[in-house]
Structure formats: C-alpha cells, structure tokens
Amino acid sequence: MEKRLIPVNIFDTVTLEQWLTQMAEEGLILDSFSGKKAVFEDQYCQRIKYRCVPTEEKAEEPPSQMKENFLEAGWNYVATLQETFHVFANQEEYPKPIPFTMKEGQRVYTQLKKKKRNSMFISIGASLFLLGFQTFLVYLRLEDYVLGTEAYNSYIYVIMFIINTMGAVREYRSYTLIKAKLESIEQGEEEESPYIPTTKWIRAETILNICIFAIMLFPLIGGIKNNHEGANATKIHVPFSYVSLEDIEMKEPNVQYRRESTYIDKKTSLFAPTQYEINQYGKTTYNLNEKWQGYEAHMKMVYLELRYEILAEQTLHSMIRHYDAAEVEKEGLDQVWIAKATSSTSIFLLKDNKILKIVYWGDGDILSHFNEFSEIVQQTHNTKSV
C-alpha cells in the first residue's frame, strides 16, 4: 500500500477523477482514503475511470440500493472520501454513464453549497472577532504587551486567527467550486479540467502548520532566555548611572544601612527593544529614643525605550492605571506622575520614547533624588554588551 496526498480540493471532482485515473495508469490502484490522503495498491498499470458522487448526508458507505444500481451500469464502489463523495470505478473502455441524474446532483450540490457558505461565514466571522479582540486587548493592556508579559496570549490569538483565516479560504475555494458545478449542471454541460495535477508530497497548509508550531515555541524560548538573564549587578552592565538605594537611606544622619543585593534584568520585546529592571534590597537601622529601629528597604527601577514614540503616552497611562497618581510639571520632561501610598512612593517619568518607573519601599526621601532620575530619560544611552 502507498499513500499519496490528494493534490486538489476534493470539490474539484473532475480534476480529482483525472488524477486517480493517472495514478492507475502508473500502477497505483485506489484502495481507500485516509484523511487527506489516498491509499493505493501497487499493481500493474491499468486504464480505470473514476467518478465522485456527492452525498447529501455524511456516510461512510453508500446505500446498498445505490451500490446495486451502479454495479448494474458497470461501476464498482471503491471508497468514500471524507464522508462527502462516494468514489466508483469502471475499467471498460467505453463505460455507461453513472446512474446519477443531473437533478439529483443539483439537489445534493445545492445542500453542500449552503453548508460551505455557512462554514465560510463562520470562519470569516471568527477571524474578524479574533483580530478585533486582539486589537482591543492591545489598547486596553498596552503596558503588558510593551513589556512582553502578554506575548504568549498574543501568539495564541495570532495562531487562532491564522487557522480560522486558512479555514475561511479553504471553505471559499470549496464554495466557488460547488457554485461552478451547479452552473454547469444548470446549463447541461460537462465540466472539463484544463490540467492533470502533480502528486504532492507536502501541502502548503502543512508547511504553515509547521511554522505555527514554531511560533508557539517562541514564548517558551523567550521565557527560558529571560530567566537566565536576571543576574547580579556585576554580570549585566546598564548604559546609565542609576541611583543606589544606599544613597537614599544614608542621606539621613545616624542611619546605618546594609546592602543585601542588587539584581538587574535585561529584556526585549517587539514594542520595547530596550528594557532594564533594577531591583535593590537592603536593611536600614536607626536610633530612635535610644532604641534601635529598622526596616527592610527595596527600590525597583524599570527603564524602557519604545520602538515607536507614538506609543509612549498610552504606555505610560497604562502603567499608572493602578496607582493614585498626581501629575507634576517638570521642565525638560514630557510628563511626570507621582503616587504616594502607605508604604511606598512611585515616580513615573516620560521623555520622548523613554519611560522610567521607580517604586520605593522605605522611609527615605526618594524625591530628593528626582534630578538624578530625570537625567536618565533625558540623556542618550549607548547600550553595552551583556
């Protein structure tokens, strides 16, 4: 037995019949179908004519009465293709016409046309819905897409959109073939195929599915890569001078500070190719009423350079949506927002396509270092190699 991919749309019955005849002339005799493949038995070369008869309802085999009628006319039942076509074969040089009238064919093809039209509209509607929903999510959660945290969901929507678009194209092709078949029946003409297809070893859809599978692996690979990029400050160099947590804590007199750790994470995404996140941890102690008090200090700094400046304002507003922030006017900056909470202070700076977010947990005066933060987004940085 030998399997070959069916090289044409199954509703292009004339070409499909010619292809099966060509295979028989090469010694491959149709035995059955397996999905989108035809299963052939390797024999001697024969001249066999095939006819694909449509079925109104999905069935694995034609009714016994139908088999008998076709057999009387010299046509033997061979196999059923995707529960849509019953395939009959005849080895006579001048075979009799199949006992399947144009009126019967017109009725069945009319039903198939309605089904394909509905399937086409459903696939188109699904593609448009997925595209619109993805666009809405990008607008609603732009920060997550810029930072790359929604990359996996994005790939899922893109894959689903591609699959539904492929389905819509396939259903449209089937619909046009059935429509042409009905027109030929109404005009009482026999359809002809201008070519005999070449056997395909792989479908374009298969290649596209392989590409889709590869796309699905991108977030996993990216996640693994990002997990390995978070490193101690000595391993990753940042292209700007950042304020240290020690400078903030030690500004007050009689304060003792012990640095715990500093970690830097370098990321990239489609919308923000340059991203740095710096986390500093430490412990601060001070003498209050002759008693030593202390707390754990933490400061997170996120620096972004967006690919498109037009996204900057929307991204900034997306980042501050969960904060009770107030806007402050500062010379040299496009926007400045400050949010104060019980245990933290947050600062958001915007200049051209650069965004800087600082979140500080501690009792120090972080706003006294505002000018140093401002310089980070106002200067041009040359990224150093990691």
Q: Is the pLDDT of residue 241 over 80?
A: yes
CB 16 within 8 A of CB 52: yes
Predicted local confidence at residue 184, as pLDDT: 83
Predicted local confidence at residue 317, as pLDDT: 87
Q: How many CA atoms lie within 13 A of 323 on its CB side?
A: 22
Q: Shortest CA distance to 46 belongs to which of 14, 22, 79, 71?
A: 22
Report the C-alpha gap between 177 and 183 in whole angstroms. 10
99 compared with 291, residue with greater pLDDT:
99
Mean pLDDT, residues 21-47 = 89
Per-residue pLDDT of 320-343, as tens digits, reads 888 889 999 988 899 999 999 888
Q: What are the b/e assignments for 164-195, b being 16+ CB within 10 Å?
A: bbbbbebbbebbbbbeebbebbeeeeeeeeee
Q: Which amino acid, residue 8?
A: V
* Residue 294 backbone phi and psi in degrees, to 5: -160, 165
Which of 203-217, 238-252, 253-267, 352-366 shows the lowest mean pLDDT across its residues?
Answer: 203-217
Q: Which amino acid, residue 332?
A: G
At 353, the pLDDT band (50, 70, 90 cuts) reads very high
Report the C-alpha gap between 376 and 371 in whole angstroms. 9
194 compared with 378, residue with greater pLDDT:
378
CB 16 within 8 A of CB 8: yes
Per-residue pLDDT of 263-274, as tens digits, reads 988 888 778 888
Report the C-alpha gap between 382 and 240 in whole angstroms. 8
Predicted local confidence at residue 89, as pLDDT: 92
234 compared with 23, residue with greater pLDDT:
23
357 compared with 201, residue with greater pLDDT:
357
CB 282 within 8 A of CB 274: no
- The pTM score is 0.55
Predicted local confidence at residue 334, as pLDDT: 93
Q: Shortest CA distance to 50 belongs to which of 90, 5, 98?
A: 90
Predicted local confidence at residue 383, as pLDDT: 44
Instruction: Considering only CA atoms, give the Rg of the chain.
Output: 35
Termini Cα distance of the chain: 57
